[in-house]
């Protein structure tokens, strides 16, 4: 992997996001709005809400991550800079990793920070909030990495948004199960650590596997 | 120029790559496809006869258990075909073989069909025996996710107009998917045991009568043969679609039309 390319692309993405702050905040806004719809849909019963809260937060985080994926490579692809970026030796993996890292910093990290607040809104007991926080801290990078593969595979396609959701959501099932399961385990009086350990293992596997897959998909797209 | 005579003349011996050439494959599949179709029909008739008239009524479930004869073969094939699809995708990816990509694409709809059949028949079976159309059982859930994986592959391949890019992107997705299948399966199993306590398992514990087993195996072979027949036919159609401008394909089309 090319460290200089990684740093350059990462910093550039953050700078671009900073210049369009409202746009960068859209995933968080979606996350909050979507999650607040659930009490309106299923009713305000605190018992029910407490039970479904971890799952609701996780599903909304999943959707927010996927919906913010299509533009990840689109602008660079459209103006040709992506092809230039991929020319340097070993740059594909670096670009893929930097883009995923940038996506997580811009739209994943705010979700992690906002999640405990959402948990409170849904009536989650205070002792479960740290577990929810940690599970999202480990889980949202997985979503950014997997979503990167989807974004690269669907680069430049008309229906990229829906395709990413269809392609990546089945692959994200394990993350959802262990992530939402961690908080549910605390609710059931069990330790959340097995869930969190497995989530960590998934994160490591994705860190190793997703950037090369994304790089290969980018090569196909710009070929 | 008589191209069919020319290709026949330069066909010295059979190698591993003989049928990696679309024109050779097209001819081979034209023979094997209908043959598999006939085999499928024969085995299906024999299996259905065994299943409906020879196999005894189940002591626990009564007549309704007979849906197993289509349900289990469909479930087996749904999984085997996904692996086969990923295998051909990988062959295409690493050897850059056109026919391998075509095979992966040709397998996907049949795999999705068998997944849907497994889910559907399972649901029809679940209603009288479990009293519900659907439970979030580990097997049912992972089969459903398998269907989503097939749909994702087909949607991606269909959305890309450029043939080469569609092939390679689909291959990458199939390979990523097959790596994830065990992870998804075990996570679903674990999720299920955590959330549902003792869930329903299909009645596999009791011993099966040999005629039941025979009927199931016959229908499994029928499903295999059907899958081969359909995949060959679909692969032939894709070959014609892609190679339609080549001399051998033009000659063939001219012959069949004239």
Residue B2's pLDDT is what?
46
Cβ pair B148:A166 closer than 8 A: yes
Tell me how many domains chain B contains: 1
Tally of domains in chain A: 1
Q: Are B149 and B177 in contact (CB under 8 A)?
A: yes
A chain contacts of residue B159, beta-carbon cutoff 8 Å? 154, 157-159, 163
For residue A13, the model assigns a pLDDT of 92
Q: End-to-end CA distance of chain A, in Å? A: 21
- For residue B42, is it within any domain? yes
Query: pLDDT tier at B1 (50, 70, 90 boundaries)?
Result: very low
Residues with Cβ < 8 Å from A113, sequence gap 6 or more?
none
Residue in chain B nearest A202 by alpha carbon: B183
Long-range contacts of A39-48 (CB under 8 A, 24+ apart): A39/A121, A39/A122, A46/A123
At A1 the pLDDT is 67
pLDDT of residue A87: 86
Evaluate whether residue B184 is within a structural domain. yes
Residue B143 counted as domain residue: yes
- Which residue is it, tokens 């949607």? B155
Strand partners, B62: B58
* pTM, rounded to two decimals: 0.89
End-to-end CA distance of chain B, in Å?
A: 17
State the complex-level ipTM: 0.90
- What is the phi/psi pair of residue B58, to 5°? -70, 140
User: Residue B55: pLDDT band by 50, 70, 90 thresholds?
Assistant: confident
Minimum distance, in Å, between the CA of residue B201 and any CA atom of chain A: 21
Q: Do A220 and B190 touch (CB under 8 A)?
A: no
Residues of B in contact with A184 (CB under 8 A): 194-195
pLDDT digits (tens, 9 = 90+) for A137-167: 999 999 999 999 999 999 989 889 999 999 9
Q: How close, in Å, is residue B247 to chain A by CA atoms? A: 28
Nearest C-alpha in B relative to A223: B165
Can you state the angle between helices A160-171 and A46-67, rounded to 10 degrees? 120
Can you spell out the DSSP letters for B237-255? HHHHHHHTTSHHHHHHHHH
Domain of residue A89 covers 3-222
- Mention every residue, 6+ apart, whose C-beta is less than 8 A from residue B136: B192, B195, B196
Task: Tell me the C-alpha distance between B159 and A88, whole Å.
Answer: 30
- Mean pLDDT, chain B, integer: 85
């Amino acid at each position: 992997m090319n460290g200089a390319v990684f740093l350059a692309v990462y910093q550039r993405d953050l700078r671009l996001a900073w210049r369009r702050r409202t746009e960068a905040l859209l995933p968080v806004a979606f996350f909050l709005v979507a999650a607040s719809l659930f009490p309106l849909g299923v009713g305000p019963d605190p018992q029910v809400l407490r039970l479904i809260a971890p799952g609701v937060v996780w599903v909304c985080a999943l959707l927010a991550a996927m919906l913010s994926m299509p533009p990840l490579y689109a602008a660079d692809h459209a103006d040709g800079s992506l092809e230039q970026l991929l020319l340097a030796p070993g740059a594909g993996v670096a670009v893929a990793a930097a883009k995923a890292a940038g996506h997580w910093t811009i739209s994943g990290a705010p979700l992690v920070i906002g999640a405990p607040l959402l948990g409170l809104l849904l009536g989650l007991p205070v002792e479960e909030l740290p577990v929810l926080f940690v599970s999202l801290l480990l889980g949202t990078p997985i979503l950014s990495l997997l979503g990167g593969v989807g974004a690269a595979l669907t680069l430049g396609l008309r229906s990229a948004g829906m395709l990413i959701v269809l392609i990546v959501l089945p692959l994200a099932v394990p993350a959802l199960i262990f992530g939402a399961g961690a908080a549910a385990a605390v609710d059931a009086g069990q330790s959340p650590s097995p869930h969190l350990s497995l989530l960590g293992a998934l994160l490591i596997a994705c860190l190793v596997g997703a950037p090369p897959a994304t790089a290969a998909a980018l090569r196909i797209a710009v070929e | 120029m008589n191209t069919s005579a020319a290709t026949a003349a330069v066909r010295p011996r059979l190698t591993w790559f003989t049928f990696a050439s679309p024109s050779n494959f097209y001819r081979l599949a034209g023979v094997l496809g209908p043959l598999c179709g006939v085999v499928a029909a024969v085995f299906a008739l024999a299996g259905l006869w065994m299943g409906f008239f020879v196999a005894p009524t189940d002591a626990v479930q009564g007549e309704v258990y007979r849906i197993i004869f289509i349900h289990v073969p469909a479930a087996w094939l749904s999984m085997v075909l996904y692996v086969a699809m990923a295998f051909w995708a990988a062959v295409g990816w690493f050897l850059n073989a056109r026919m391998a990509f075509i095979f992966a694409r040709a397998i996907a709809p049949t795999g999705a069909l068998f997944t849907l059949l497994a889910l559907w028949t399972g649901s029809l079976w679940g209603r009288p025996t479990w009293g519900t159309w659907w439970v979030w059982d580990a097997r049912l859930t992972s089969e459903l996710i398998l269907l989503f994986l097939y749909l994702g592959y087909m949607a991606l391949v269909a959305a890309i107009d450029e043939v080469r890019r569609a092939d390679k992107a689909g291959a990458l997705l199939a390979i990523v998917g097959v790596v994830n299948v065990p992870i998804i399966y075990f996570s679903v199993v674990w999720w299920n045991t955590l959330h549902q306590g003792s869930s329903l398992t299909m009645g596999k514990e009791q011993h099966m009568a040999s005629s039941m087993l025979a009927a199931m195996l016959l229908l499994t072979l029928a499903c295999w043969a059907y899958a081969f027949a359909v995949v060959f036919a679909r692969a032939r159609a894709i070959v014609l679609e892609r190679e339609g401008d080549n001399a051998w394909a033009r000659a063939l089309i001219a012959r069949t039309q004239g």
